[in-house]
């Protein structure tokens, strides 16, 4: 896609994953959170990101933002804390020991683009659905993990927005797509 940012290399991915973990651990220990260095333009970009925590393979928190506030590094630090402590679906992480049971995944996002349903490509795109005050997002990897086709992916994004499946067919529904470079501690061998 034309709005895809430069990929983050392995060293950058490891640094960002380390930053997310160190930031959460510092909060749990009541220490000052690390000041991230911005040494590489590929991850110093102002772009959105989601941080996902899994505990024993199950979702433990996921929070993100479509727009960066400053650098990607800063956004990841903010979203790591939000995923660990502010996801309303889960209680806040309770200890460094609990954090050690979790693995971290980062989704560094492209910008949002308006899309028609037939333009959504499973495995490439994430979806953001807006209809009135209802909003829902599913990251690109979700459809692949669940084995969904395009219509099911669109339907499930509607459900995530608190709407009925098929809401994406309503002309009042706005469909946006985005790509993500997804990387996690499991894949990076950290």
Predicted pLDDT of residue 186: 87
Q: Which domain holds residue 37?
A: 10-110
Q: With 90 as the cut, is the pLDDT of residue 164 above it?
A: yes
Predicted pLDDT of residue 68: 74
189, part of any domain? no
- Write down the pTM of the prediction: 0.87
- In this structure, what CATH number is given to the domain that contains residue 40? 3.30.700.20
More confident residue, 158 or 45: 158
Do both 105 and 117 map to the same domain?
A: no
5, part of any domain? no
- In this structure, what CATH number is given to the domain that contains residue 163? 3.30.1490.150
How many domains are contained in the chain? 2
> In this structure, how many other beta carbons lie within 10 angstroms of the beta carbon of residue 119?
12
Contacts of 59 (CB under 8 A, 6+ apart): 52, 53
DSSP state of 119: G
1, part of any domain? no
Total residues belonging to the chain: 190
Q: Which of 110, 134, 158 is the last residue in one of the domains?
A: 110
pLDDT (tens digit per residue) in 97-140: 999 999 999 999 988 999 999 999 999 999 999 999 999 999 99
């Amino acid at each position: 896609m034309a709005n895809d940012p430069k990929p983050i290399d392995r060293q950058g991915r490891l640094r960002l994953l380390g930053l997310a973990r160190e930031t959460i651990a510092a909060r749990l220990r009541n220490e000052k959170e690390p000041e991230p260095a911005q040494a590489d333009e590929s991850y110093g970009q102002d772009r959105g990101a989601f941080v996902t925590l899994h505990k024993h393979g199950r979702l433990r928190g996921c929070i993100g933002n479509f727009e960066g506030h400053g650098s990607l590094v800063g956004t990841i630090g903010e979203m790591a804390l939000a995923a660990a402590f502010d996801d309303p679906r889960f209680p806040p992480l309770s200890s460094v020991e609990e954090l050690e049971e979790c693995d971290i995944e980062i989704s560094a996002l492209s910008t949002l683009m308006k899309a028609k349903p037939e333009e959504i490509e499973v495995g490439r795109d994430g979806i953001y659905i807006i209809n009135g005050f209802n909003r829902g997002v599913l990251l690109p990897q979700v459809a692949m993990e669940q084995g969904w086709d395009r219509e099911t992916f669109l339907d499930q994004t509607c459900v995530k927005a608190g709407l009925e499946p098929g809401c994406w067919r309503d002309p009042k529904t706005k469909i946006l797509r985005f790509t993500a470079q997804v990387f996690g501690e499991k894949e990076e061998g950290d």
